[in-house]
């Protein structure tokens, strides 16, 4: 699973963004940069590191030995959790897992070296492992 080797702050403050602000479209990471096809998010969500790994595994199984995969997101935001049945107070809980805040329009995965049908099937299976909706996007060749 993906998680940072070292962090500057163990616990982050809780973001208090409204659903309307979370649903604003992403401005970075919105184009297919490495592969031929990409999985673009169409809904906002927090993606855990184990969900990214599950989606990566199902994509690599679908591609076989022919394709190459790029993961365009990295979970670096720590989410804390207190133990069960603890009384209120006594400070913030310990870090439990890491997430990445996905906004609509962000390219999550990219693949290359396979046909569009195989890419579509791989991304369909990967979207089932993720807590968001996504769609397949093609690379726009701007080279002459």
The pTM assigned to this predicted structure is 0.89
Asked if residue 143 has pLDDT above 60, the reply is no
Query: How much is the average pLDDT of 11-15?
Result: 87
Query: How much is the average pLDDT of 13-36?
Result: 88
pLDDT digits (tens, 9 = 90+) for 73-113: 999 999 999 999 999 998 999 999 999 999 999 999 999 99
- Residues 62 and 41: their CA atoms lie apart, in Å, by 20
- Residues 35 and 30: their CA atoms lie apart, in Å, by 13
Residue ranges and CATH numbers for the domains of the chain are: 29-80+95-138 (3.90.1170.10)
> 135 pLDDT band (50/70/90 cuts)?
very high
Looking up tokens 């107070």 gives 89
Cα angle 119-64-42, degrees, rounded to a multiple of 5: 30
Cα angle 91-94-131, degrees, rounded to a multiple of 5: 120
């Amino acid at each position: 699973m993906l998680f940072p080797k070292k962090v500057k702050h163990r616990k982050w403050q809780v973001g208090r963004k409204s659903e309307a602000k979370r649903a604003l479209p992403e401005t970075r990471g919105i184009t297919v940069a490495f592969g031929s096809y990409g999985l673009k998010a169409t809904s906002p969500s927090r993606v855990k590191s184990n969900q990214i790994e599950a989606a990566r595994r199902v994509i690599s199984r679908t591609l076989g030995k022919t394709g190459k995969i790029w993961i365009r997101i990295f979970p670096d935001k720590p989410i804390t959790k207190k133990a069960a049945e603890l009384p209120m107070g006594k400070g913030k809980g310990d870090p439990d897992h890491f997430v990445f805040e996905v906004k609509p329009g962000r390219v999550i995965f990219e693949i290359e070296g396979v046909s569009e049908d195989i890419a579509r099937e791989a991304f369909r299976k990967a979207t089932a492992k993720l807590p968001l909706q996504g769609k397949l996007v093609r690379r726009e060749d701007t080279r002459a």
